[in-house]
Amino acid sequence: MKIVFVGAGNLATNLCLALNSAGHEVVQVYSRTMDSAHALAQRVGAQATNDVAELATNADIYIIGVTDSALKEVSSLVVSHIETERGTGRMPLIVHTAGSIPMDVIGTDRCGVLYPMQTFSRNRIVEFSNIPIFIEANHEADLNVLQGLSASISTSVRVLSSDDRRYLHLAAVFCSNFVNHCYTLTAEILERKGIDFSAMLPLIDEVAAKVHELAPKDAQTGPARRCDTNVMQAQADLLSYDPRIQEIYRIMSKSIMHD
Amino acid sequence: MKIVFVGAGNLATNLCLALNSAGHEVVQVYSRTMDSAHALAQRVGAQATNDVAELATNADIYIIGVTDSALKEVSSLVVSHIETERGTGRMPLIVHTAGSIPMDVIGTDRCGVLYPMQTFSRNRIVEFSNIPIFIEANHEADLNVLQGLSASISTSVRVLSSDDRRYLHLAAVFCSNFVNHCYTLTAEILERKGIDFSAMLPLIDEVAAKVHELAPKDAQTGPARRCDTNVMQAQADLLSYDPRIQEIYRIMSKSIMHD
C-alpha cells in the first residue's frame, strides 16, 4: 500500500509512524509548512511537500489528517489535483481522520474515514495497538482496505457510520477534553494555596482505573453523590472569587445529584 | 500504637487494613451496624462493636472515619464516652479523616486530622504507599505521632491546616467526582448509540497519563480549545434531547475557550 499523508499534526504524525512501523510505504507527506512536512517525512523515509500541486498521484490511499476547520477546503484541493492529473484514470481511495465530520466532506466517490479515537500530542508517541479505530467507506472493497490497514496497527477496529460517529466524538469530548479541563480547574484551585498539582496524580489515576471495573455511575463518590448540601454550599462559597468555576461547581453537583 | 477505628466504610476499611499491614494494633472497630463492624474487625483481628458505650478507652489513638454529615455527632459521642470513663486521666489522641471538615469539629484538646486523599470503594483495596496523606494536630507531639503513623503506610505525608485542606478537598472534587461524572455522561451518550463504554478506556487512560508529564492547561485539546464554533454548535445540537447535558457541554466549552 502506497500512502500519501496530507497533514503532519499530532494525529497525522502518530498514525503515520504507526503505519510505517507496520510495514506500509508512506511515499509523501504534505503540510502547509515545509518544516512540518520535512519533520514527519524524514522519520518515515518519504518525500516532503508544502504544495498540493506537487502531490504524488500514483498512491493507493490518501490520508487527510488536518484540523476539522480546514478539512473541507484541503479535501477539495486534493481531489481536484488528483482528478486533473489522473484524467480518466481510476481515482484512489481518499480518507479523513476526523471524528466529528461526515465522510462525504471529501467530495469524491472513493471516500472513507479512518478515525483513531485517542488524544494525540506532538511529543508523546502513543502505542497504537489498543487504540480503537472506527472506519467507514463508500464502497465495500474500500471498507476492506481500511479494515486491513487498521488491523495492521490496532486490535480494535469497528465500522461506524458518519451519523453515529458524531455521537462517539461527542462522548470523547466529555471523557477527554472536559475531563482534562477539570484537571486544569483543579490546578488553578491548588495554585492559590501553593499545593503542587502532582499531589493529585494518585487520585486521578485511581478514578481512571476504577471505571475499568465499575460502571462510572456506580463509581461515583463525593458530596453531591451523598446529597451533602452543607459541604456543597461551603465548597461553592470557597469559589466566590471566580464565578466561572463556581458555576461549573454548581452545575456538575446538580447533575450528579439528579443522575 | 493501639488504635480504635470508629467507622467501617470504604475509607476506614482501606486505612485500617493498611495500618494493620504496617504492624499497628487495631484493637476495636466500631460501626453503626454490627455486620459492618464485624466484617472489618475480623480482617484485622480486632473486637467489633456497634455501641459507643462499649468503646475501648485504653487505646492510644481513635480514628473517626465516618461520613462528613455524621462526623460532628459521632465525635461528640466518642469524646463524651472517653471523658466519662477516663475521668481525670489523660485523654487519647482523636483524629478524623475528612478532607472538608475542620479539625476542631472533634471537640477535644488532643485532636487531629489524617486525610488520605484518594477515592475509596469497598471492593477495591488500593495500594496506600503512594497516596498523599495530609495531617494536622493541635499539639506538636501529636503531629509527630500522626507523621510517624502516616509515614508507616505512605511515602507522601504533608502537614496542612484545616483552612487550606478545604481547598485541597475542593480541588479533589474537581479531579475526582466531576471527572467521574464526565465519564458517566460519556456512558449515557454512547448508550443511545449502542457503543460500549469500554471503547473509551484507552482514551481515558491517556488523558490521565498525559498530566503526569504536561500541565493540564498545556494538555488541553478538542473543539473548544481550537475555538471551533462550528463543531461546538453541532455537538450542542446533538444534545438537544437532554438540556442538562447540553448545559454542561456549553459551560465547559465556554470555560475552556476563556481559560
Pairing of strands B133-137, B111-116: antiparallel
Q: Are strands A133-137 and B111-116 parallel, antiparallel or unpaired?
A: unpaired
Which residues of chain A have a CB within 8 Å of the CB of B181? 216, 220, 252, 255-256, 259
Q: Is A186 on the interface with B (CB under 8 A)?
A: yes
* CA distance to partner chain A, nearest, from residue B26 (Å): 26
**What pLDDT sits at residue B162?**
96
Element (H, E) at B158: strand B157-159
Residue A119 has pLDDT above 90, yes or no: no
User: Considering CB atoms only, which of A170, A190, A225 is closest to B238?
Assistant: A170
CB nearest to A177's CB, from B205, B220, B244 = B220
Contact B155/A at CB under 8 A: no
Q: Quick one: pLDDT band at residue B11, thresholds 50, 70, 90? A: very high
Strands A133-137 and A111-116 come out as: antiparallel
Give the pLDDT confidence of B19-74 residue by residue, as tens digits: 999 999 999 999 999 999 999 999 999 999 999 999 999 999 999 999 988 999 99
| Biggest distance spanned by C-alpha atoms of chain B | 73
B188-210 residue pLDDT tens: 999 999 999 999 999 999 999 99
Of B174, B200, B205, Cβ closest to residue A172:
B200
Mean pLDDT of the residues in chain B:
95
pLDDT at B155: 95
Contact B197 A213 (CB under 8 A): no
Residue A119 grid coordinates: 488524544
pLDDT tens-digit series, residues B221-233: 999 999 999 899 9
**3-class DSSP assignment, residue B222:** coil
* pLDDT at residue number B176: 97
Task: Tell whether ipTM is more than 0.95.
Answer: no
pLDDT classification of A126: cutoffs 50, 70, 90:
confident
What pLDDT was estimated at residue B259?
A: 84
Best residue in B178, B188, B201, B241 for a mutation probing chain A (most A CBs within 10 Å): B178
Q: Do B175 and A256 touch (CB under 8 A)?
A: no
Angle made by CA atoms B7, B11, B14, in degrees to the nearest 5: 105
A125-129, A177-181, A211-215, B166-170: the lowest-pLDDT one? A125-129
A206 touches chain B (CB under 8 A): yes
Contact residues, chain B, for A183 at CB < 8 Å: 174-175, 179, 211, 216, 219
pLDDT score of B242: 96
Chain A closest-CA separation from residue B85 CA (Å): 33
- What is the number of other CB atoms lying within 10 angstroms of the CB of residue A123? 8
Quickly state the pLDDT bin for B123 (edges 50, 70, 90): confident
Task: Find the CB nearest A207 among B68, B176, B195.
Answer: B176
Q: What is the pLDDT of residues B79-111, one digit of tens each?
A: 999 999 988 788 999 999 999 899 999 999 999
Q: Element (H or E) spanning A93, and its range?
A: strand A93-96
- pTM to 2 decimals? 0.89
- Collapse the DSSP code of B128 into the 3-class scheme (helix H, G, I; strand E, B; otherwise coil) and give the result: helix
Smallest CA–CA separation between B242 and chain A, in Å? 12
User: Which amino acid would we find at residue B25?
Assistant: E
Q: Taking CB atoms and an 8 Å limit, are B182 and A178 in contact across chains? A: yes
